[in-house]
Amino acid sequence: MKIIATDRKGKIHEIDGNDGWTVMEALRDAGLPIAAECGGACACATCHVYVDGEWFEKLPKQRAEETDMLDMAVAAESNSRLSCQITCTPTLDGLKVTLAPE
């Protein structure tokens, strides 16, 4: 699947998301500046992304742990997700995300 990721300067990147990888891993693998300090343990909120438009609704619901951790994100919005908690699947082909500010 492909992920359409907008970086913090507004540049759009089309990157590969291998099935089973997390979106955070795909972003990191593509060299985008995502801190992901805790390495994907849902413990730091530094892989925070905004999910564009209708894609937000299509994602599997976030677990309570992620909802809680988003409280530690500095600029959370109603379409905020932690990219380490979204798994790449064929149904998410074309997923659009924007890196949240650091």
Partner 1 sequence: MSDDATIETDVIIIGAGPIGLFAVFELGLLDLKCHLVDILDRPGGQCAELYPEKPIYDIPGIPIVTGQELVDRLLEQIRAFHPHFHFSEMVQSLTKLPDGRWQITTDADTTITAHAVVIAAGGGSFVPKRPPIPGIENYEGKSVFYAVRKMEQFRGGNILIAGGGDSALDWTLNLAPIAKKLTLVHHRDGFRASQHSVNQMRELVNEGKIDFHVASVKALHGEDGVLDGVTLSGADKTEWHHETDALLPFFGLTMKLGPIANFGLNLHENLVPVDTEKFESTTPGIFAIGDINTYPGKLKLILSGFHEAALMSQAAFRIARPGEKLRFQYTTSSSSLQKKLGVN
Phi (first) and psi of residue 10, to 5 degrees: 90, 0
Position 17: which residue type? G
Q: Which residue has the tokens 């507004």?
A: 10
Closest distance to partner 1 from the beta carbon of 12 (Å): 20
The answer to whether residue 69 forms part of the interface with partner 1 (CB under 8 A) is yes
Q: How far is CA 91 from CA 3, 5, 9, 36, 69, in A?
A: 11, 17, 28, 24, 26
Closest distance to partner 1 from the beta carbon of 10 (Å): 15
The answer to whether residue 44 forms part of the interface with partner 1 (CB under 8 A) is yes
Which residue's CB is nearer to partner 1, number 2 or number 79? 79
Among 16, 74, 91, 94, binds partner 1 (CB under 8 A): 74
Closest distance to partner 1 from the beta carbon of 87 (Å): 18
Element (H, E) at 29: helix 23-29
Footprint of partner 1 (CB under 8 A): 35, 37-39, 41, 43-46, 67-78, 80, 101-102
